[in-house]
Chains A and B, each alone.
Chain A
Amino acid sequence: MTRYSVLKLLLLLGIATAIPASLAEDWKVLEEDELHDPSNPAVAILQDPEEALSVLAPDTAGNKVNWVEAIRQGQIEPRASLHGDVEGRQHDTDIVMSNTLDFPSVLFPHKAHNEWMSCEMCHESLFRSVREGNPITMAKILEGEYCGVCHGAVSFPLTECDRCHSVVESRLSAPSSGAVVPKE
């Protein structure tokens, strides 16, 4: 058996065990998640993910919850501050980034983001509010910079390419990178 065929066998074995396991259940109970200590009595008291997440708008990746939809459908109302209300954030411009080689351009929706967080979460530390002011690359994102601070860690993972690279038709006529797209 060559090294190549051993590797191939291992890979097939891995896929064969990974796929049925991931289809069988969306959420692990805490006792079996390989993080929580089953001998800790508190683990039986803490909520299991399935109880909270199975009733929310479904998704195929991450927590298997479409968190943006969960808010829009009124399933959850995460508080915007600890004490009292804050003023509603209504910034909903879209940004198109078209410097994406052969990939569809990226459309960044402000609305979906500010339904979840205040402007200060990104501006001006992660992203400068200046056109062409953010030299974003996929390498940096994969290293946990820019979008990768959240996406790939808590927000939908980086396997979901087409959720960001979503603008196909307008690629040739798309405005230059970082352009703000006016709302109709």
Chain B
Amino acid sequence: MKRFLKSKRLALLVLVALPIMVAWAEYGDVVINVRAKGEGMAPVIFPHWFHRVRFQCSVCHVDIGFKTRAGGSGITMDKISQGQFCGACHNGEIAWSVENCDFCHSGMPGLETGIEGGHKTAGPGYY
């Protein structure tokens, strides 16, 4: 019994240490690969840190309407071109326009949609 408890504690330690060991992305980076793969495009990497230096959270998550779940907003390039989502700023006026495909579609092929970061305990939707 004692041994069982000990190994259980150890397993818990491994679980806690694992995220620290594997992740290198900047805290809060979002990988969006919902449609990109099917279109032959590289996944999008969205850096929260870069955007929050310039805008408060609610500009995007309330006013523009980005969900707080990675991959949950239903973003398409059509909508962006019409000024929705990223296109509210990335229109050549507030920020660079969508012609710069590679600036956003900059991820390594095969990445899963989700939130990344080196110091998180878990993140939305999972332990």
Report whether A142 and B55 are in contact in the complex, using a CB–CB cutoff of 8 Å: no
* Residues of chain B whose beta carbon lies under 8 Å from any beta carbon of chain A: 3, 6-7, 10-11, 13-14, 17-18, 20-21, 24-29, 31, 42, 45, 47-50, 52-59, 61-64, 68-69, 88-89, 94, 100, 102-103, 106-109, 111, 115-127
Is the CB–CB distance between B25 and A117 below 8 Å? Answer: no
Query: From residue 32 to 59 of chain A, which have CB atoms closer than 8 A to chain B?
Result: 32-37, 40-43, 45-47, 49, 52-53
The yes or no answer to A136 lying at the interface (CB within 8 A) is no
Does B106 contact A157, Cβ atoms closer than 8 Å? Answer: no
B-side contacts of A53, CB under 8 Å? 49
* B120 partner residues in chain A, CB cutoff 8 A: 62, 152-153, 157-158
Q: Are B109's CB and A142's CB within 8 A?
A: no
Contact A46 B103 (CB under 8 A): yes
Closest to B26 in A: A49
What is A's interface to B at a CB cutoff of 8 Å?
4, 7-8, 10-11, 14-15, 17-18, 22, 27-28, 30, 32-37, 40-43, 45-47, 49, 52-53, 61-63, 65, 67, 76, 78-82, 116-118, 120-121, 142-144, 148-150, 152-154, 157-159
Task: Report if A142-B54 is in contact (Cβ < 8 Å); known contacts: A10-B14, A152-B122.
Answer: no
**Complex: how many Å from CA A17 to CA B49?**
26
Query: B116 touching A117 by the CB < 8 A rule?
Result: no
User: What chain B residues lie within 8 Å of A154 (beta carbons)?
Assistant: 27-28, 48, 52, 115
* A-B contacts besides A15-B17, A36-B45, 12 pairs, CB < 8 Å: A4-B6, A11-B10, A11-B14, A33-B24, A35-B108, A49-B50, A53-B49, A65-B49, A78-B52, A78-B54, A120-B58, A148-B124
**Would A41 and B49 count as touching, CB distance under 8 A?**
no
Closest chain A residue to B64, Cβ basis? A82
